[in-house]
Amino acid sequence: MLAESQAPWFVGWGTLALINAGLAQGKNRNGLWWFLLSLPFGPLATLVLVVLPKVRSRLF
């Protein structure tokens, strides 16, 4: 079982992963992939998502 002091850390990291998934979907990227990528990399994945441009779904 997790210690009481570690619980907020995991909740915050999981929330960040969910936010990154939503941000990725808003940029037409795979939300599940970015969610899984955010679990080990957290804020670094957020930075990459913010810097990456939005993917165009169609040419015209």
* pLDDT single digits (tens) 4-60: 676 778 889 999 999 999 999 999 999 999 999 999 999 999 999 999 999 887 766
The C-alpha atoms of residue 46 and residue 27 are separated, in whole angstroms, by: 13
pLDDT on residue 33: 97
pLDDT on residue 27: 94
| 15 φ, ψ (degrees, to nearest 5) | -65, -40
Q: Which pTM was predicted?
A: 0.81
Question: Which amino acid is it at 17?
Answer: A
